[in-house]
């Protein structure tokens, strides 16, 4: 089962340091400072938000079994994911594509009466705009989308291509529901959705990195300026205030939050943006000491590091140092 | 024959002929008469108000209790290119509702749920527009003797008055003479042209198979499906049973594409399943009563009732989804003696218990004593009193009628409250008795020895037409030599390459 493999894959770096729930929040894409931090700290950003609709119940069931049989299953090939980059545009892209295929397939047969595959008004509006602009080039679009999909799906494992194409609705042919796909291909319903997400991430990645080769799919993506930064908006506020030179105490007072919450924000910002703001709170030498200690002990557990350094540094400083390490690794 | 109407029918629907009753009702509507139309299911009631919306200026308001039907109709109209249509109901979020209400002048056809018409802002907006027709769909819901009483419907006469009494069209698929009188009276004693058409269908025959238990029921059902092999709808009273039985059918008949459908599914999946059935990719649907409204499939041949509904009207409506093309079609009821427990249970659930009513009044009294005169929200209420939202709406209406609630506030007078308690208990008792009586009638129909066609429709019309082909088991007919065909579907393609090519390159 793919979900089980993914959970095991995520559990390895996290090891015993964080609870199973943290993996759940990661897959679900919870936009909290803690989850974003986990994603960065343990090198799991690609799995962030790949399954927004995952139910806690199913996760708990699968995780309980998966983590027991950890050794057996972890050599499986992991499908491509890039959650941190694409999670916010996975769904819009998918539904634009589904609706576009439905439109092109019907339109070429002269059929104007069909019920759109999605109720989402924003998606319908988007495709309508596209139609207005491109209505004299639909032939090109039909061929272009076909060629691009064909080429890109061919690079994927067959199961992903099958699941994806069987979901498409067109002229006198209606796509299958998740449940129907699961039954037809003998995979779990959750895996149908995960494979689909992987397929979409693959299409997005190719279209984004090589827009010249895949112009039609690239046109269905959000423009870069619409991309949502993966920092939470509350942390963004804290950052703005820090940049204005306010102290942690002042910010907490003005925003009516606790100082610890503000510190969470600072750690979150550090994960994403590195040392820009941290020099106020921890010196390079101190950070180096903490990182050295963490490396030697082979742990990311705050409590353990805190004890090893005999309480010389507080938890906030340790978290900052760990966040900085990530930054340094990326640079290196 | 009205040439303009004919032309409009062809222009907007591509049909050359009206079905029974449509033209007469349209005629009356276009002459601005108040009209009562009783048309059997499957004859296209909606044309009676859609065509005026297309042909004339002014807004047509359609009150409908069925949210899914509303959504379906709006979708289908839009698919046909008719965009000046909207639906207003509790499904929409606040933003979308405001959006529709602010732009009412841009619509020719507006579907609303009855509770939305309690919104003062909406009424205000509507008062400033020219309303050419006010349609009460499923009008039987206004009568407590109809199969589905909606207290919200009782307030429609007030709404009609507030809108300066536009021409009213009341439509229903099933109404006994008693319900017809009620509709006219409760809509404000309007002087209505009545167009009542028979509900019996000459091309549907009726069969009942008695079985002892669920296992035998499943075996009988599978044998029937194997023999008939035609587009089939199977009705269940529970979602779980619809799901599990669909699984049994698929396991036993892998060659017959089958799926389940019920109100608990994601909207997107519901659309796909419905469309697959229309396209012939599915031949069998296992469903609850949520399926069928607005599904205009002409060649459904077989309706199986795995469970029976709790009244004949609902049964007639569900069976009426077969054979809309006029070809011979069949209703089969599978019934085992234990089946009657389910509808009894559902009836109990629908109406508030005496205990809950007392608890509710005690709770409200406590609030009055504490100086909290504002009406509590349903969300707050259910933390204290175990009632469903339907039950709460029902009680709310009754409290307003007895002046216990005015506007959004409670009014306390000891006598009035005591009297209310007495009356409401009596009223609920009557409702329950009425529903059980309806159920009893359904039951008698199952056990009857005489012609099922006669027995089913005698309450609704003075004369029942003879069947075109087979009539019913009691008349000695059998299904032994009946043959029907499957809906033609596109050939199944193998592999994603071929499928993708077919979708975009053929």
Q: Does B281 touch chain A (CB under 8 A)?
A: yes
pLDDT tens digit sequence for B138-193: 898 888 776 677 778 888 999 999 999 999 999 998 788 888 999 999 999 999 99
Pair B72, B231: CB distance under 8 Å: no
| Residues from chain B contacting residue A184 (CB–CB below 8 Å) | none
The residue written with tokens 């222009």 in the block is B11
Mean pLDDT of chain B: 89
A226: confidence class by pLDDT, cuts 50, 70, 90: very low
Q: Smallest CA–CA separation between B225 and chain A, in Å?
A: 21
Q: According to the model, what pLDDT value does residue A25 have? A: 94
Q: Closest approach of chain A CAs to the CA of B79, in angstroms? A: 5
Least CB–CB distance from B500: residue in A119, A146, A172: A146
Q: How far does Cα B181 stand from its chain's mean position?
A: 20
- Asked if the C-beta of A144 comes within 8 angstroms of chain B's C-beta atoms, the answer is no
- Name the residue facing A175 among B96, B259, B272 (closest C-beta): B272
Quick one: closest CA in A to B495, which residue?
Answer: A162
Q: Which chain A positions have a beta carbon within 8 Å of B501's beta carbon?
A: 146
Q: Measure CA B123 to chain center.
A: 25
> Each residue of A71-88: pLDDT tens digit?
555 556 789 999 989 998
- Domains of chain A, by residue range, sit at 2-73, 85-226, 233-331
Mark which residues 16-55 of A lie under 8 Å from B by CB: none
Task: Work out whether strand B329-335 and strand B302-305 pair parallel, antiparallel, or are unpaired.
Answer: parallel
Give residue A17's pLDDT. Answer: 76
Q: Give pLDDT, residue A331.
A: 43
Pairwise CA distance, residues B207 & A136, whole Å? 56
As given in the structure block, the two tokens for residue A248 are: 């942690």
CB atoms B496 and A166 under 8 Å: yes
Using CA atoms, how far apart are residues B168 and B34, in angstroms rounded to an integer? 5
CB A320 within 8 A of CB A282: yes
Closest B-chain CA to A141? B504
With cut-offs at 50, 70 and 90, classify the pLDDT of residue A225.
Answer: very low
Name chain A contacts of B273, Cβ cutoff 8 Å. 177
More confident residue, A121 or B445: B445
Note the pLDDT tens digit of each residue in A203-218.
Answer: 999 999 998 899 999 9
Q: Return the minimum-mean-pLDDT range out of B31-40, B398-407, B423-432, B466-475.
A: B398-407
What is the average pLDDT value for chain A, to the nearest integer?
A: 87
A113 and B75 in contact by Cβ < 8 A? no
* Beta-strand pair B232-235/B168-172: unpaired
Q: Tell me, what DSSP letter sits at residue B469?
A: S
User: Which chain B residue has its CA at the smallest distance from A162's CA?
Assistant: B496
Per-residue pLDDT at A311 = 86
Indicate whether A68 pLDDT > 80.
Answer: no
pLDDT at B398: 82
CB pairs under 8 A between A and B: 83
- pLDDT-wise least confident of A199-208, B15-24, B278-287, B487-496: B487-496
A217 vs B contacts (CB less than 8 Å): none
Q: Are B343 and B310 in contact (CB under 8 A)?
A: yes
Quick one: residue A32, left, alpha or beta (phi over 0 = left, psi -120 to 50 = alpha)?
beta
- Range list of β-strands (E), B213-353: 232-235, 258-261, 284-287, 302-305, 329-335
A175–B259 C-beta distance less than 8 A: no
Residue A105 is inside which H or E element, if any? helix A83-108
- The yes-or-no verdict on residue B439 having pLDDT over 60 is yes
Inform me whether the C-beta atom of residue A118 falls under 8 Å from chain B C-beta atoms. yes
Cβ–Cβ gap A177/B272 under 8 Å: yes
Hey, which bits of chain A come out as E strands?
none
Mean pLDDT value across residues B122-129: 94
Chain A residues within 8 A of B275 when measuring between CB atoms: 115, 169, 174
Residue B239 backbone phi and psi in degrees, to 5: -65, -45
Query: Could you tell me which of B183, B191, B179, B134 has the C-alpha nearest to residue B160?
Result: B134
Residue A326 reports pLDDT greater than 70: no
Nearest to A174 among B272, B501, B505 (CB): B272
Handedness of CA B241, B246, B249, B251 (dihedral sign): negative
Q: Which residues are within 8 A (CB) of B209 and not within 5 positions of it... i.e. 6 or more apart? A: B220, B224, B332, B333, B334, B335
Of B269, B497, B503, the CB nearest to A105: B503
pLDDT of residue B146: 67
Residue B269 C-alpha, separation from nearest chain A C-alpha, in angstroms: 6
Q: What is the pLDDT of residues A247-269, one digit of tens each?
A: 899 999 989 889 998 988 888 88
pLDDT band with cut points at 50, 70 and 90 for residue B32 = very high
Task: Locate B30 and state its tokens.
Answer: 């276009």
According to DSSP H, which parts of B175-294 are helical? 177-186, 214-228, 239-252, 267-279
Name which of A53, A100, A115, A128 to mutate to probe chain B: the one with the most chain B Cβ atoms within 10 A of its Cβ: A115
Which residue among A104, A164, A173 sits closest to B490, beta carbon to beta carbon? A173
Q: What is the bridge-based pairing of β-strands B409-410 and B405-406?
A: antiparallel
pLDDT score recorded for residue B336? 93
From B268's Cα to the closest Cα of chain A, the distance in A is 6
Residues 6+ apart with CB under 8 A from B100: B86, B87, B88, B92, B107, B110
Q: Are A118 and A128 a contacting pair, CB within 8 Å?
A: no
Chain B contact present for A165, CB below 8 A: yes
**Residue B405: its H or E element:** strand B405-406
Task: Give the residue on A whose Cα is nearest the Cα of B257.
Answer: A180
Options 1.10.10, 3.40.50, 3.10.129, 1.10.150; CATH of A233-331: 1.10.10
B-contacting residues in A 94-113 (Cβ below 8 Å) = 101, 104-105, 108, 112-113
∠ CA(B114), CA(B116), CA(B118), 5° rounding?
90
Question: Both tokens of residue B34?
Answer: 């108040």
- Residue B141: the pLDDT is 87
CB neighbour list of residue B22: distance below 8 Å, 6 or more residues apart? B39, B43, B44, B47, B48
- Residue A84 makes CB contacts below 8 A (sequence gap 6+) with A39, A45, A46, A48, A49, A230
Is B382 an 8 Å CB contact of chain A? no
Tokens (6 digits) for B152: 């919200």
Residues of B in contact with A175 (CB under 8 A): 272
* Shortest alpha-carbon distance between residue B72 and chain A (Å): 9
**Residue of B175 and B426 predicted with greater confidence:** B426
- Residue B62's DSSP bridge partners are B111, B135
Interacting residues of B248 by C-beta distance below 8 A, sequence separation 6+:
B218, B222
A180 with B281: Cβ contact below 8 A: no
Domains of chain B: 3-196 (3.40.50.300), 204-343+438-498 (3.40.50.300)
To probe the interface with A, which of B83, B487, B504 has the most A CB atoms within 10 Å?
Answer: B504
Any chain B CB within 8 A of the CB of A271? no
Nearest to B496 among A162, A172, A178 (CB): A162
Angstrom distances, CA of residue A83 to CA of A20, A59, A147, B11: 19, 18, 26, 50
Q: How close B175 gets to chain A, by Cα (Å)?
A: 32
Chain A contact present for B494, CB below 8 A: no
* Smallest Cα distance from A216 to chain B, Å: 14
Give the DSSP per-residue string, A140-198: HHHHHHHHHHHHHHHTS-HHHHHHHHHT--BTTB-PPPHHHHHHHHT--HHHHHHHHHH
Kindly list the residues from chain A whose CB atom is less than 8 angstroms away from the CB atom of residue B504. Answer: 101, 104-105, 108, 142-143, 145-146, 170
Residue B65, phi then psi, degrees to nearest 5:
-85, -10
Q: Which of B294, B244, B282, B250 is nearest to B41 (CA)?
A: B294
Q: What is the mean pLDDT of residues B307-318?
A: 90
pLDDT of residue B251: 95
A227 CB within 8 Å of a chain B CB:
no
Q: Does B407 touch chain A (CB under 8 A)?
A: no
- What is the structure's pLDDT at A168? 97
CA-CA distance, B453 to B466, in Å (whole number)? 8
Distance CA B49, CA B30 (A): 10
- Are B497 and A150 a contacting pair at CB < 8 A? yes
**Rounded to the nearest 10 degrees, how much is the dihedral formed by the CA atoms of A96, A97, A99, A101?**
160
CB proximity under 8 Å: B 361-380 to A: none
CB contacts, 8 Å: A170 with chain B: 502-504
Secondary structure (3-state) at B506: coil
Determine the residue among B260, B496, B497 to mutate to test chain A binding: the one whose Cβ has the most chain A Cβ atoms within 10 Å.
B496
DSSP state of B465: P
Dihedral of alpha carbons B404, B407, B409, B411, sign: negative
Biggest CA pair distance of chain B: 77
């Amino acid at each position: 089962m793919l979900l089980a493999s993914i959970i095991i894959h995520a559990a390895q770096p996290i090891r015993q340091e964080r609870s199973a729930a943290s993996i759940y929040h990661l897959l679900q894409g919870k936009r909290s400072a803690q989850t974003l931090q986990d994603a960065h700290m343990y090198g799991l950003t690609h799995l962030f938000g790949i399954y927004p609709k995952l139910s806690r119940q199913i996760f708990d069931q699968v995780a309980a079994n998966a983590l027991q049989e950890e050794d057996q299953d972890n050599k499986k090939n992991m499908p491509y994911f890039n959650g941190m980059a694409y999670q916010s545009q996975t769904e819009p892209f998918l539904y634009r594509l589904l609706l576009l295929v439905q439109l092109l397939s019907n339109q070429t047969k002269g059929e104007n009466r069909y019920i759109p595959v999605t109720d989402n008004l924003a998606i319908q509006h988007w495709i309508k705009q596209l139609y207005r602009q491109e209505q004299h080039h639909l032939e090109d679009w039909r061929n272009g989308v076909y060629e691009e999909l064909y080429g890109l799906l061919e690079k994927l494992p067959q199961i992903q291509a099958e699941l994806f194409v069987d979901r498409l609705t067109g002229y006198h042919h209606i796509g299958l529901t998740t449940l129907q796909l699961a039954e037809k291909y003998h995979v779990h319903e959750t895996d149908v959705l995960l494979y689909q997400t992987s397929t979409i991430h693959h299409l997005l990645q190719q279209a984004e990195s090589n827009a010249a080769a895949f112009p039609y799919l690239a046109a269905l993506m959000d423009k870069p300026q619409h991309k949502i930064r993966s920092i939470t908006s509350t942390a963004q506020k804290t950052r703005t205030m820090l940049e204005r030179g306010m102290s942690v105490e002042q910010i907490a007072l003005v925003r009516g939050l606790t100082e610890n919450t503000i510190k969470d924000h600072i750690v979150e910002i550090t994960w994403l943006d590195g040392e820009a703001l941290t020099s106020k709170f921890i010196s390079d030498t101190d950070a180096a000491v903490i990182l050295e200690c963490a490396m030697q002990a082979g742990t990311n557990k705050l409590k353990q590091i805190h004890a090893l350094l005999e309480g010389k540094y507080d938890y906030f400083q340790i978290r900052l140092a760990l966040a900085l390490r990530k930054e340094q690794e990326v640079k290196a | 024959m009205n040439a303009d109407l004919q032309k409009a029918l062809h222009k907007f629907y591509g049909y050359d002929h009206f079905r029974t009753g449509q033209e007469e009702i349209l005629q009356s509507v276009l002459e601005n008469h108040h009209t009562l139309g009783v048309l059997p299911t499957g004859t296209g009631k909606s044309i009676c108000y859609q065509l005026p919306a297309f042909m004339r200026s002014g807004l047509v308001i359609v009150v409908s209790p069925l949210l899914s039907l509303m959504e379906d109709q709006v979708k289908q109209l839009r698919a046909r290119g008719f965009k000046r249509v909207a639906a207003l109901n509790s499904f929409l979020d606040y933003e979308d509702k405001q959006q529709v209400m602010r732009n009412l002048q841009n619509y020719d056809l507006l579907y609303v749920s009855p509770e939305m018409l309690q919104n003062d802002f909406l009424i205000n907006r509507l008062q400033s527009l020219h309303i050419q027709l006010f349609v009460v769909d499923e009008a039987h819901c206004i009568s407590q003797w109809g199969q589905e009483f909606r207290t919200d419907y009782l307030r429609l006469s007030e709404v009609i008055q507030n809108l300066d009494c536009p021409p009213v069209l009341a439509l229903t698929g099933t109404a006994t003479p008693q319900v017809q009188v009620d509709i006219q009276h409760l809509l404000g004693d309007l002087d209505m042209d009545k167009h009542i058409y028979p509900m019996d269908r000459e091309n549907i025959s009726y069969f009942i198979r008695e079985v002892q238990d669920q296992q035998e029921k499943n075996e009988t059902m599978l044998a029937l499906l194997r023999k008939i092999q035609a587009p089939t709808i199977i009705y269940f009273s529970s979602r779980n049973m619809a799901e599990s039985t669909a699984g049994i059918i698929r396991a036993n008949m892998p060659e017959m594409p089958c799926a389940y459908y019920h109100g608990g599914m994601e909207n997107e999946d519901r659309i796909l399943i419905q469309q697959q059935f229309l396209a012939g990719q599915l031949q069998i649907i296992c469903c609850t009563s949520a399926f069928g409204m607005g599904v205009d499939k002409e060649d459904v041949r077989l309706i199986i009732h795995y469970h029976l509904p709790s009244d004949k009207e609902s049964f007639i409506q569900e069976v009426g989804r077969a054979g809309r093309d006029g070809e011979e079609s069949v209703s089969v009821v599978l019934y085992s003696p234990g089946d009657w427990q389910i509808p009894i249970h559902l009836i109990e659930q629908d109406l508030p218990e005496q205990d809950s009513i007392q608890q509710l009044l005690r709770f409200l009294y406590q609030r009055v004593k504490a100086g909290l005169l504002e009406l509590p929200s349903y969300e707050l209420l259910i933390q204290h009193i175990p009632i469903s939202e339907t039950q709460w709406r029902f009680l709310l209406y009754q409290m307003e009628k007895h002046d216990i609630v005015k506007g959004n506030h409670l009014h306390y007078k000891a006598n009035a409250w005591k009297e209310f308690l007495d009356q409401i208990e009596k009223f609920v008792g009557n409702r329950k008795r009425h529903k059980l009586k309806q159920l009893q009638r359904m039951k008698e129909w199952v056990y009857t020895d005489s012609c099922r066609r006669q027995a089913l429709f005698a309450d609704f019309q003075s004369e029942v037409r003879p069947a075109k082909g087979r009539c019913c088991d009691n008349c000695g007919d059998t299904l032994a030599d009946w043959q029907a065909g499957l809906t033609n579907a596109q050939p199944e393609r193998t592999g994603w390459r071929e499928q993708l090519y077919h979708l975009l390159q053929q």
